[in-house]
Structure 1
Amino acid sequence: MITPDRTRSLPLQALAWALPLVRERGATLAAVVILSCLGSAAALLPPYLTQRLVDDGIVGGKVELVLQLCAVFLVLMVGGVLIETLSRLSYLKLSAHLLFGLREQVWRHLQTLAPTYYARTRGGEILSRLDGDVAEVQRFALDAPMAVLNGVFSLAVALVLMLSLSPLLTALVFALVPLQVAALILSRPWLERSTHAMRKESAAMSSFFVESLRAMKFIQASNAARRQEAGLRAHHGDYFAALRRSQLASLGAGGLQRVLSGLGVLLVFAVGGALAAAGDLSVGVVVAFIAYTTRAAGPLQTLAGVFMGWQRAKVSLERIRELAAERPTVQSPAQPVPLAHPVRGELRLDAVRFGYGTEAVLEGATLDIPSGTKLALVGASGAGKSTLIDLLQRHYDPQAGRLLLDGVRLDLVDLAELRRQLVVVDQEPVLMPGSIRDNLRFVAPDADETALMRALDLAGLGKLAHAGGLDRPVGAMAATLSRGERLRLALARAILQDPAVLILDETTSGLDLPVAQAIIGAVDRVFAGRTRILITHNLASVGAVDRIVELRDGRLVEPDPVRSAAPLLRVV
């Protein structure tokens, strides 16, 4: 689980978050470090050998030495290619492990958050943090230490070799380093602001796509396609403006670094060339030094890139830290109280109070539901019926009062066990992408073919399954199934879960009365003797019930027949 730690600096947080995952691949990390250092060393030797090739071999007229050094060059080139290949493959393995592990931690955290978080947060914003921001932190957490290590090692080796050739030219080249550091510091605020703006616009565009795709049928029916295109163009314009600012910031900072590096090369040309012309320095040394100046610019550019990468990672880490600060509303108890088996399904609400913010939805709600009861729960829209179901499944805990299953407080029961025993079928059930088999095994991964077919038969989908097979795809957003088929498939999933309590939350709302009665008939046959709670606006669709309870003004009461008969019997 990711946890925000404001006592640490952001760089330390990024590294601390990734460290446990890196430790799991310690051998791979060691291989990457060793191969990286070997590759850097192999790349730094040619300029030094070039000096001997020019001065001792070519100028000195030693053909044998020239051939020997050419052979060494060939070995270094082939060895460098092999080392780079092994290094990149090892790094890919380590990088993928780290990225996937960090993303899984964020996903694990997201799965603990309450429905209210998803109600107030745009889907594209969550996707942006889960994908782009996690990847940015991963790159910094792994790439930055590796880049710093490789850059410092390369600079140290280059410095030793350059000093051995010419201390004066070495001093000229490294005299520009303070200017490069100052340029990076001055560019930092610009980089940070532009990166934050680009992340924000990227998240807004992702949200536009997610929400528009979900509402595509409505957009088509409303003749709003052109307006949506105009909205997309507006998002593109905002994103391009933010992207341009970010690119200008990166190009400005990087360009200044390249100019300063180029200035170092020009100084070597000017001073080294003058010394060589005066006979105070060999041509080979000047040639080698020009090569080293160019190559020394690489590690310096890498270190500058780490700095600019940190500005991007800092924004991403702040965004992930905001997500991590969202705390779960409920957690499974450390030492859960086991339910007696078989679970009877007896429910009790004892003076339950719950509200969102200052608005109370339930106020002293009290109700006893004996095991095996078929109860119809009615009430006006917005009265809190769905909130009550969320409390029973422990998406929230009551702010006062108690909810009990078989005499055990719900907050003392293992969360997974509670949700296995108390299953909800919504009026718009969520079906996952894939086939009918995939959707059934989503809730019962170990169920065999016989159990799957039995569940479909009991739910009234036997003909559909036999005709198309369990491999029939449900389509995007279950578009290949009718609403009645989607409800029956959700009922088949509930049958496989085999709960002690089944809740139908407006499941038959909007269906033709015969279809609704057929679905309720299947429920009564399969779940006879178990606790059933049917939330409805149409009592005619739920058949005979043992009890009717109305949720009114935050309380559970017996309905007044005169006051409520009309709305309760209305087909909606």
Structure 2
Amino acid sequence: MNRRMGTRLGWAVLAGAAADLAGLGLIAAAAWLITRAAEQPPLAALSVAIVATRAFATGKGVFRYAERLTGHDVALRAQAGTRERLYEALIAPRPPRHGGADLLSRMVDDTEAVQDLLVRCLLPAAAAAVTAVAAVGIGLFVLPVTALVLLAGLAVAGVLLPAVTAAATRRWAARIAPARAALAGTVADLVHGSADLAAYGAGERALEQARAADEALASLERRQARVHALALAAGTLAQGLTVAGIVLLAQASGAGTVATAVLALTALVSFEPVLPLAAAGERLAGITAALRRLKEVREAPAAVTEPPAPAPLPRPPYTVEVADLVVRHAPAGRDGGLPPAVPRAAVDGVSLTLTPGRRVALVGPSGAGKSTLLAALMRLVEPESGSVRVNGVDVRDLASDDVRTLMTGLTQDPYIFQTTLRDNLRLAGPDAGEERLREAVREARLEQWADRTGWDAQLGEDGRTVSGGQLQRLALARALLYDPPVLLLDEPAEALDEETADRLMADLLDVTHGRTTLLVTHRLRGLEGVDEIIVLEEGRVIQRGPHERLVAEPGYYRDLWESEVLTRR
């Protein structure tokens, strides 16, 4: 927390304490005024109490408003800062460890813990402590023996009960947030997978899973509610016993009616800010679990290591050299406590060179390592050995964001955001004019669809309102609009029909003429125009060369070419 936030928090604590003290003073002054007025003294003897009562009544409202305003301002700023830091952690390349629904739960529910920590725990505790000290001080001044009783009652309600409720809640508080995330994930599967569930008659089973997840969460929350109710009842009982004890002591000590009324009502009101601390202790256990879950996300190891002092970007034109690159994904654990098996390398000793204007195509069966190679070029995964150099500078010495300004493009699973077509395109070119947007859409063969649908049409989340081919072409248009020095294209013709895919590949090879391009594709038609074709299998280069030479020699490429030609006949 920075100094400015600390100052605001301090003002909130002072305002809250002042509001509670004003409430305490109001009751004490009103009690003295009522009991003293019953004795019918001269009006002048009551004037100070009358003014004090009015001042305390007005002050309580003003200070409470100031405390709410300042406290919530600090809490909301802290929550926004937490979400910002969490988002920064999420956008950094990291191995997938949490599902989307779980991350959403952490982003929404768990970040609210920061707000609750301030509003429901820290501020009430500080104000209650100040009020308790003031109330005990009044007791010491009026009748010292009653101060001990009040101190004991306040200690039970403000210290013992919160500690007990926190300990009791902690047993299952750490399970509530994961249970909520599990329910969110199940509901997300029901919503997004409703068509598949209906198609295979699995809807009822999915609903049963959702009901089970809901019941598990409800059971935990019912336990939490029972603890809250018991703590509230115990606090109220402590309040009643304390007031009764003070009244009995005051009467036994021969204190007058005025003193007894002041002591009793002061004790009664002093519990007002203290009683919510039991709920604060209960909430603190949940907050601790939520903050721990946020910490897990923020401290998750990054997929790549950033250099402590990134080197500056080299000057264009750019030559990319990949030398003996080996990429191995993180090993998966085994059952039975055995050590994780070491997986084979996804990319195993691949070398290639992309000189300015050179176009290279990567082909091979699924799982050959093509997409992993592109991810290594974009610094989304860390290589085990080998190197990727740009103008002689190892990309590991550059900031990852800088590397992706040089080498990026169409990824394997493009994402379409829930906004307009125009805004989806401007993600890659915020300052692009209408003509440049249309040019990118035209190059991706999407112009007719864009004009028919409308540039301001709202697209569904993850492209649910567009076909697979339209989604792919829209993502391609976005990559062309971004126009990086080295264009990486991962299956640009995926999910397109034969005729459209052929036209798209032809147009794509035309618009990338003279542009440094690395193209991953299963389609061989049109690859006569690229400078080199590299065939990968199980992460290794098994063939490389121009199209004419590869179709002339036995191997995977010729077999795939002949199969593609026969299919078209």
Please give the TM-score of this superposition, normalised by the length of structure 2.
0.88
Which residue of 307, 310, 325 maps to 1:352? 325
Deviates more, 1:172-181 or 1:502-511: 172-181
Residue identity opposite 1:260 in structure 2: A
* Residue 215 (structure 1) aligns with: 193
2:26 counterpart residue number: 46
Cα distance between partner residues in 2 of 1:65 and 1:448: 80
TM-score by length of 1: 0.87
Aligned residue number for residue 236 of structure 1:
214
1:537–1:570 contact (8 Å) kept in structure 2 = no
Q: State the shift of 1:541 in Å.
A: 6.4
Which residue matches 1:314? Answer: 288
Q: What is aligned with 2:144?
A: 167
2:317 to 323, 343, 362: 343
Counterpart of 1:566 in structure 2 is 559
Which residue pairs with 1:137 in the alignment? 114
How far has the Cα of 1:361 moved from its partner? 1.8
Task: Please list the CA deviations of residues 291-321 of structure 1 after superposition, one character each: whole Å capped at 9, or x if unmatched.
Answer: 2122221233244444333322222222223
Contact 1:538 1:570 in 2 (8 A): no
Query: Aligned partners of 1:136, 1:396: CA distance in 2, in Å?
Result: 33
Structure 1 residue 328 and structure 2 residue 308: aligned? no
Give the distance between the partners of 2:562 and 2:155, measured in 1 at CA: 82
CA distance in 2, matches of 1:336, 1:419: 14
Letter in 1 for 2:296: E
Aligned pair partner of 1:478 in 463, 468, 474: 463
Which stretches in structure 2 are left out of the alignment for 5+ residues? 332-341, 545-549
Q: Deviations over 1:513-566 (max 9, x none)?
A: 211122222322322111222222221265643322111233223167533233
Selected match of 2:263 from 289, 292, 300? 289
Per the alignment, residue 256 of structure 1 pairs with 234
Counterparts of 2:392 and 2:503, CA distance in 1: 34
Offset, 1:324: 2.9
Residue 192 of structure 1, aligned match among 149, 154, 170: 170
CA distance in 1, matches of 2:347, 2:411: 21
Q: Which residue of 1 aligns with 2:223?
A: 245
Matches of 2:182 and 2:522 in 1, distance apart?
Answer: 38
Within 5 Å, which residues of 2 pair with 1:535-550?
535-540=520-525, 544-550=529-535
Change beyond 3 A, Cα 1:526–1:417: farther
Q: Which residue does 1:410 correspond to in 2? A: 395
Instruction: Report the CA distance between 1:101 and its aligned residue.
Output: 0.4
- Measure the CA separation in 2 of the matches of 1:336 and 1:469: 43
1:34, distance to aligned residue in structure 2 (A): 3.4
**Structure 1 CA distance, aligned partners of 2:443 and 2:351?**
34
Answer yes or no: is the 8 Å Cα contact 2:162–2:280 preserved in 1. Answer: no
Counterpart-to-counterpart distance in 2, 1:455 and 1:90 = 49
Q: Return the match for 2:498 from 513, 537, 552.
A: 513
Q: For the aligned residues, what is the CA RMSD?
A: 2.6
How many pairs does the alignment contain? 544
- Indicate conservation of the 8 Å contact 1:504/1:535, yes or no: yes
Question: Is 1:176 matched with 2:153?
Answer: yes
Greater mean alpha carbon deviation, residues 33-42 or residues 265-274: 265-274
Q: Does 1:378 align with 2:351?
A: no
Query: Residues 416-431 of structure 1: matches in 2 within 5 Å?
Result: 416-426=401-411, 428-431=413-416
Structure 2 letter corresponding to 1:146: L
Give distance in 1, aligned partners of 2:462 and 2:424.
12
Question: What SS does the corresponding residue of 1:351 show, helix, strand or coil?
Answer: strand
Deviation at 1:274, TM superposition (A): 5.5
Q: Percent identity?
A: 24
What is the aligned counterpart of 1:82 among 46, 62, 70? 62
Q: Is the 8 A contact 1:349 1:365 kept in 2?
A: yes
Contact 2:78/2:114 (CA < 8 Å) preserved in 1? no
**Equivalent residue for 2:12, pick from 29, 32, 43:** 32
Task: Give the secondary-structure state (helix, strand or coil) at the position aligned to 1:460.
Answer: coil
Structure 1 residue 551 and structure 2 residue 536: aligned?
Answer: yes
Q: 1:53 touches 1:65 (CA, 8 Å); kept in 2?
A: no
Aligned AA (2:559) = A
Residues 43 and 568 (structure 1 numbering): CA distance in 2 closer, same or farther, change over 3 Å? Answer: farther
Q: Distance in 1 between matches of 2:161 and 2:134?
A: 25
